[in-house]
Amino acid sequence: MAAMALRPLNCTTLAGGSQRTAAEAATTRRARRTVPLTSASSLSPPPPTKKKVLVPVGLGTEEMEAVILVDVLRRAGADVLMASVEPGLEVEASSGTKLVADTCIAACANEIFDLVALPGGMPGAVRLRDCEILRKMTIKQAEEKRLYGAICAAPAVVLMPWGLHRRKQITCHPAFIDKLPTFRAVTSNIQVSGELTTSRGPATTFEFVQSLVDQLFGSTVSEDIGEKLLMQADGGHQRKEEFNKVEWSFNREPRVLVPIANGSEEMEVVILVDILRRAKMDVVVASIEKSMPIVGSQSTKIVADKTLADASESTYDLIILPGGIAGVERLHKSRMLKKLLKEQKKAGRIYGGICSSPSLLQKQGLLKGPWYCNGFFTCYREQVLWSCKSKKRGRRDCF
């Protein structure tokens, strides 16, 4: 008993007979006191995993379809990879727009995607069809009952040779509908058949991607995206209402300038350029940045044809500004663009804007007069249509 009373005080006896110093024991007690107590109720569930989407592109891919797919799916919250099936990341699309993919197809060959969405365009669809890596990925996608889709030429040119049309009702671009089995072909804008969704072409891309958003995220997200992008019915507004009569007559190919910047709305850039080029206009995409590639509002990379400095050496029948809040702010800071717009106005040549870009024109005093439309510019061949939000100011040479 005496021996136990005289045992040194600098050691602590542990279960099993091992010993540690008093200093070590004190350190342990302090550490225990500093560890916060966490109740089960305070534990938050892990954040939901983002839906992963693959959008492959190749030489001749339809740029409107590819960019609208990427843009809208990213707005919905998907993690979208634009993957090149070409040797390099830069891809020239069907109407000449240069896109820069996020990665090459080989780099994502072993990844699992919630959706694989194939844009059309020729020869883009053929380039996708001939990519063995993409073929294996898409077949596996279908076998494992995950979502996949195709639009325009892709259902006929890509899915059929891969055997992914079997037991499916599908639609495609009218130019390729005769290549589909008669008993499987439908002529609707959108056709959902199990995990496969197909659509007809550039003009139905918004319906196509909204259907895909609905399948990935539900109707609430789909409807919200549709409202924000004005995809829904126009509420009874006139499709066309012209306040400033302008004669569009040329004895040559009209020249058009589309200035772009980091933050420009890529869908608007691509739709403007694609349709105006289809209408046989000479369209120049000019970057106001120090580099030719710009990063759009939803992170799609577009390569300009020229810098604005080089483009400013020519005159243009039309200067049209894309929207995107950050992009418009960048355009507003360009002295060279301001000078070009003022010269355009002075010469009586046409200029205009879409989305938020009319605010730039207003700040430069280019919207003085009885009317202007602060809305969305839509062009199909030789028609210029406005969905007007307000009709307060404007010029005869500004639409």
At 300 the three-state DSSP class reads coil
3-state secondary structure of 120: coil
Around 302, how many Cα atoms within 13 Å sit in the side-chain half-sphere? 36
What amino acid is encoded at 285 in this protein? Answer: V
- Measured between alpha carbons, how far is residue 320 from residues 197, 317, 383 in Å? 34, 10, 15
Task: Name the one residue in this structure whose structure tokens are 């294996």.
Answer: 136
Q: Which amino acid is at 284?
A: V
Q: What are phi and psi of 319, to 5 degrees?
A: -115, 120
Return d(Cα 215, Cα 49) in angstroms, integer. 16
In the residue annotation, 108 being an active-site residue is answered as no
DSSP labels for 29-86?
Answer: HHHHHHSPP--GGGPPPPPPPPPEEEEEE-TT--HHHHHHHHHHHHHHT-EEEEEE-S
Beta-bridge mates of residue 304: none
Active-site hit among 108, 152, 355, 398: 152
Burial class (CB in 10 A: 0-12, 13-18, 19+), 333: exposed
Q: Whole-angstrom Cα distance, residue 187 to residue 159? A: 17
d(CA 168, CA 149): 12
Query: In angstroms, how far is the first alpha carbon of the chain from the final one?
Result: 104
Q: What are phi and psi of 115, to 5 degrees?
A: -150, 135
Yes or no: say if 117 and 212 are a contact pair by the CB < 8 Å rule: yes
Contact 205, 120 (CB under 8 A): no
Cβ 116 vs Cβ 141: under 8 Å = yes
Token pair of 150 as six digits: 């195709």
The three-point CA angle 261-267-269 to 5° equals 45
CA 370 vs CA 89, 378, 392, 393: distances in Å: 48, 22, 6, 5
Q: Are 384 and 375 in contact (CB under 8 A)?
A: no
Residues carrying an active site annotation:
152
